[in-house]
Amino acid sequence: MGGSVNVKRVIGRVVSFIIKIGILFAVIYPFVWLVLSSLKFEQDIVQYPPKLWPNQFTFTQYIRVWSKLPMFTMFKNTLLFSASVTVSNCLLCAMGGYAFARIEFRGRKLLFVLILMTMMIPFQIIMIPLYILEHMIGILDTFWGLILPRLTWPFAIYLMRSFFISLPKNLEEAGRIDGASEYRIFWQIMLPLCKAAMITVGIMTFTNNWNDLVYPLLLTNSVTMRTLSAGLAMFVGQRIIEYGATLAASMISLIPLLAAFLFMQKYFVKGIALSGMKI
């Protein structure tokens, strides 16, 4: 009797192990394939039957891609756009979240509900009016046009608020008794405490904007303003003609985030895990 329970348990363990490794294989395979294919010559990529391992390793695709696509411009645009939006989000959302969490003011509840509701508005709804608005202001197809609408992010305000609420109540009291202004309390006492929350928000913002497609696709149309996502999507649009260059370009667009993920997975996962919690 006891023996059969043990056998059952061992079988269960083995089955669950196989399932886990199977999923791991399915998740990792396309990445392995991408890395290896981007190191092949064009004729090896299109050979039949396809082979995973290159006949001969080469960096040609990574060299060719710079002349095939405006890679440098696209990379610079994406970096500039994502980085500025990230810095601004960290600061503005910390300010907003702090105000909602720690200061009593008239209309606070109503305003916060309003902010929460904006999180539900899909981009596709405001896409056309935003285009018209930017055209009227004259910032369409410029960095300002990309950056200004993304200076703040309701979801990050919400995350920051949850963070500030969780801090002990009497933190700012000491500052108030010492006669420090509200701004000084925020800047010198509260802001240094929310470094971890800011990294979480920063990583989410950076990832979202780095990967975003519709938004830059809509608000830019000259080749010199394209981001990596938008530029690549345009490039493959009709049909993939140059496999090697396309794959190398995809790889280049993935490397910064994958590298960041390798060193800071904790922060990547934290924001997502928090989003499902009722705080």
Partner 1 sequence: MFKNIRSYFQRTETAAWVLLFPSLLCLTIFLFIPLIMSFGLAFFDVTIFLKQFKFVGLDNFIELLQDDRFWNALGNTVYFTIMVVPCGILFSLAVALFVQGNSLFQRFLRVSYYVPVICSMTAMGIVWAVLMDPTIGMFAFWIRQLGFENVQLLKDPNLAMPLIAAMTIWKTFGQNMIILVAGLQAIPDEYYDASMIDGANKWKQFFHITLPSLIPTLGFCVTTSTISSFMVFDQTYVMTRGGPLFRTETLAQYVYTRGFVISPFRLGYASSVAFVLFIVIAAISIAMYYFFTKKETEGL
Single-letter amino acid, residue 119 = M
Between CA 251 and CA 61 the distance in angstroms is 11
Q: How far is the CB of 269 from partner 1 (least distance, A)?
A: 5
Q: Is 28 in the site for partner 1 (CB under 8 A)?
A: yes
Q: Is 154 in the site for partner 1 (CB under 8 A)?
A: yes
> Which listed residue (52, 110, 113, 177) binds partner 1 by CB under 8 A?
52
Q: Is 32 in the site for partner 1 (CB under 8 A)?
A: no
The C-alpha torsion from 67 through 70 and 75 to 76, rounded to 10°, is 110
Between CA 119 and CA 275 the distance in angstroms is 12
Burial letters 183-197, b for 16+ CB under 10 A, else e: eebbeeebbeebeeb
Q: How far is the CB of 241 from partner 1 (least distance, A)?
A: 12
> Which listed residue (90, 95, 201, 245) binds partner 1 by CB under 8 A?
95
- 145 CB-side CA count, 13 A: 23
Q: How far is the CB of 222 from partner 1 (least distance, A)?
A: 14
Q: How far is the CB of 68 from partner 1 (least distance, A)?
A: 14
Decide: helix, strand or coil at residue 226.
coil
Between CA 145 and CA 26 the distance in angstroms is 39
Q: Which of residues 177-216 bind partner 1 (CB under 8 A)?
A: 181-183, 186, 207, 210-211, 213-214
When the beta carbons of 50 and 166 are compared against partner 1, the nearer one is: 50
User: What separation, in Å, do the N-terminal and C-terminal C-alpha atoms of the chain show?
Assistant: 48
Q: Is 86 in the site for partner 1 (CB under 8 A)?
A: no
When the beta carbons of 59 and 187 are compared against partner 1, the nearer one is: 187
What is the x/- site pattern for partner 1, positions 98-127, by CB under 8 A?
xxx--xxxx-x--x---x--x-xxxxxxxx
Q: How far is the CB of 65 from partner 1 (least distance, A)?
A: 13
Between CA 237 and CA 154 the distance in angstroms is 32
> Which listed residue (9, 13, 135, 195) binds partner 1 by CB under 8 A?
135
- Give me 58's structure tokens: 């080469």
Q: Is 24 in the site for partner 1 (CB under 8 A)?
A: yes
Q: Is 11 in the site for partner 1 (CB under 8 A)?
A: no
Phi-psi region of 229 (alpha: psi -120 to 50; beta: other; left: phi over 0): alpha
> Which listed residue (146, 197, 218, 225) binds partner 1 by CB under 8 A?
218
When the beta carbons of 42 and 60 are compared against partner 1, the nearer one is: 42
Between CA 255 and CA 35 the distance in angstroms is 11
Q: Is 143 in the site for partner 1 (CB under 8 A)?
A: no
> Which listed residue (161, 247, 248, 267) binds partner 1 by CB under 8 A?
247
